[in-house]
Structure 1
């Protein structure tokens, strides 16, 4: 009788805990598991940290309010271009500007610079602007308005010295009545005509700053801006910018910059000046507030205005080339007194030609600026009495 097989036929169970070396009695060393880093205790903010956070929130609110006051002030005036920029040296600035509608269609324009920097200057700036607005709304002359503002600042704002220019613009006549309380002189840019060269001049109008002498009186000067002319108001953060040799930019260099770039429109002119001032600041950061208000009277005819736009975007030589080349296809370019409707298709036509020679970017900018100029003339016609 054959002996039966005593081996179990059930499947052998495999170890689920062994390793490849376990059958030889060897074991791999256990890996050291790094201990979890201790969780730092969470401490509530200290009183100093809470106060610092509160101060930062208040400063941000003050910045928002100040910028809102300035940015909301720029008006639209048919027949005129206006551009403003204000760059504080710190979180809060002491420069100010304002526009205020006056009786019989005139416009009040002000720029000022409060002594000091930071929060104290910003607070005095807000008070000075409020006082100015209250007095300017009376509609008195520019010189009388500054005299009234000066008396209030002398009596109610301690250590509140303010330099200020106040102008009253008659948009129909193109005249400006200007009074100056110790501020930097305005710059007048007059375009060339067939009989006169281009001119850039300082308007020397003097007077004591506000807050120095409560009996101060102020002179007044009337200036007429011919079509195409501009006037620049600015604070001394531009002319007193210093380079690595502690040399100021100065009025003479500013005048030269304005002469060199006299064909630029207000916004482009201000961008150019900011670039130049920042380049001059090679030694470090901006150390004073910078504010500019630039006002330009549009040309009397659409042809002159359109040509000035082409010069602004492409430069003088390229503008002359483009204008002459397109005159055969667009006879209106040679007609100074053509109707406004005759110019409606010119922005697209010049933009199309410019795209081939100067690329899409400049062509798009040119067409956009020409359309804006066309709309401005159309609105000015509708607004005429």
Structure 2
């Protein structure tokens, strides 16, 4: 899911014009032969700027309007580049959101299918703002995609991208994380070129600390790789510095003060729900935050192995931790069939209307409908 919450005022270029006309005032003259029309009365031209006079935009105002239109077109093109389709991988969930800043920015992400069923996932940030950063972003994404399709390891891919960026984009640098996900083995192999550390959310919340120079600094940079097993139920949050470096009126950074605690309190949220929550918190932290810098997030989550655990996670996502725990204890944990962790998806599907009716009675129609929809989608996947 890609969210673009960027409403901007547009300068309206209205070409002012004035219409003048002469009023012919006729005077009847007593004559047997003809009627003579009097000469037109003189009309004084309107004074520019006087009340009631249509204004003509100045040359500077017209140029400003043209520039704003061009920038909006560039923003649309940039967002079109970022609309990479989120891949479907059995046993996994992924969600993305990218909210552009007031000016053109340099956030980027991408998904690249790889040999042997693996999936490439990238997020990055180009230095600077405005049109130069947007152009560098487009070049960096094109170079990355070309190199990633070769199927080399994350470290070697970043090294190849770095050499090209050093040669072709000498004026800027790019931070980037490249992950290769093996969905069948449940592993990730990744390398980091100076980007913000990803967060890992499971029983606890921590960062994957792996460093490397940003791309475009030193042509012969090497990039270390790490391979990790992603346990079922674990989520990973990849994000750009528009999240952590957002400041409030007291000049406090959102990341340093709020992000780890928020993730700890909401670590069981599903990817799209987690992203929406973080965007709400950012807007509360400072309503201008998302106007000042791009905010981009990619969340990857491995589903639980057993449908019982996955459906409980969905209940937490929809109802909240406390209400879900109470509901589960009351209606599921004591159920003769559903309490078995190994219960099949078909069995759960048979009892889903019953559970939905209970949620409807306790929490209302809206939450019941949302819970039913999410559980149905999960059950369809576990049946496969």
**Fold-level similarity (TM above 0.5):** yes
Provide the residue aligned with 2:209 in structure 1: 204
Would the alpha carbon gap of residues 284 and 109 (structure 1) be closer, same or farther in structure 2, given more than 3 Å must change?
Answer: closer
Structure 1 position 169 matched with structure 2 position 181: yes
Would the alpha carbon gap of residues 349 and 62 (structure 1) be closer, same or farther in structure 2, given more than 3 Å must change?
Answer: farther
Structure 1 gap segments, 5+ residues each: 1-37, 191-197
Q: What are the residue-to-residue correspondences of 1:131-142 with 2, within 5 Å?
A: 131-142=143-154
Provide the residue aligned with 1:9 in structure 2: none
Provide the residue aligned with 1:28 in structure 2: none
Kept after mapping to 2: 8 A contact 1:150/1:214: yes
Provide the residue aligned with 1:7 in structure 2: none
Structure 2 gap segments, 5+ residues each: 1-50
Q: CA deviation at 1:275?
A: 1.7
Q: CA deviation at 1:88?
A: 1.9
Q: What are the residue-to-residue correspondences of 1:118-267 with 2, within 5 Å?
A: 118-190=130-202, 198-251=203-256, 253-267=258-272
Distance 2:104 2:77 in 1: 10
> Per the alignment, in what secondary structure is the counterpart of residue 258 of structure 2?
helix
Q: CA deviation at 1:347?
A: 3.3
> Per the alignment, in what secondary structure is the counterpart of residue 333 of structure 1?
coil
Provide the residue aligned with 1:105 in structure 2: 117
Kept after mapping to 1: 8 A contact 2:115/2:151: yes
Structure 1 position 83 matched with structure 2 position 88: no
Distance 1:113 1:127 in 2: 12
Distance 2:334 2:353 in 1: 13
Provide the residue aligned with 1:354 in structure 2: 359
Provide the residue aligned with 1:194 in structure 2: none
Kept after mapping to 1: 8 A contact 2:177/2:191: yes
Provide the residue aligned with 2:331 in structure 1: 326
Distance 1:160 1:349 in 2: 58
Distance 2:55 2:205 in 1: 65
Distance 1:102 1:214 in 2: 26
Kept after mapping to 2: 8 A contact 1:100/1:133: yes
Q: CA deviation at 1:208?
A: 0.3
Q: CA deviation at 1:345?
A: 2.9
Task: Please give the per-residue CA displacement for 1:203-227, whole angstroms capped at 9, x wherever unaligned.
Answer: 1100000000001001111111111
Would the alpha carbon gap of residues 325 and 148 (structure 1) be closer, same or farther in structure 2, given more than 3 Å must change?
Answer: same
> Per the alignment, in what secondary structure is the counterpart of residue 157 of structure 2?
helix
- With 227-236 and 46-55 compared, the bigger mean Cα shift is at 46-55
- With 333-342 and 356-365 compared, the bigger mean Cα shift is at 333-342
Aligned with 2:319 (options 314, 317, 335): 314
Distance 1:107 1:289 in 2: 25
Provide the residue aligned with 1:270 in structure 2: 275
Kept after mapping to 2: 8 A contact 1:244/1:282: no
Provide the residue aligned with 2:344 in structure 1: 339
Task: Please give the per-residue CA displacement for 1:62-111, whole angstroms capped at 9, x wherever unaligned.
Answer: 22222222223321111111011111222432100100000110000000
Distance 1:245 1:150 in 2: 38
Distance 2:54 2:215 in 1: 57
Distance 2:54 2:253 in 1: 54
Structure 1 position 73 matched with structure 2 position 69: no
Q: CA deviation at 1:159?
A: 1.4
Would the alpha carbon gap of residues 284 and 163 (structure 1) be closer, same or farther in structure 2, given more than 3 Å must change?
Answer: closer
Structure 1 position 117 matched with structure 2 position 129: yes
Would the alpha carbon gap of residues 330 and 66 (structure 1) be closer, same or farther in structure 2, given more than 3 Å must change?
Answer: farther
Kept after mapping to 1: 8 A contact 2:191/2:226: yes
Kept after mapping to 2: 8 A contact 1:278/1:286: no
Provide the residue aligned with 1:63 in structure 2: 75
Would the alpha carbon gap of residues 337 and 63 (structure 1) be closer, same or farther in structure 2, given more than 3 Å must change?
Answer: same
Provide the residue aligned with 1:298 in structure 2: 303
Q: CA deviation at 1:278?
A: 2.0
Distance 1:366 1:301 in 2: 18
Give TM-score scaled by structure 1 length.
0.81
Q: CA deviation at 1:53?
A: 4.7
Give TM-score scaled by structure 2 length.
0.81
Would the alpha carbon gap of residues 328 and 217 (structure 1) be closer, same or farther in structure 2, given more than 3 Å must change?
Answer: closer
Give the aligned length.
335
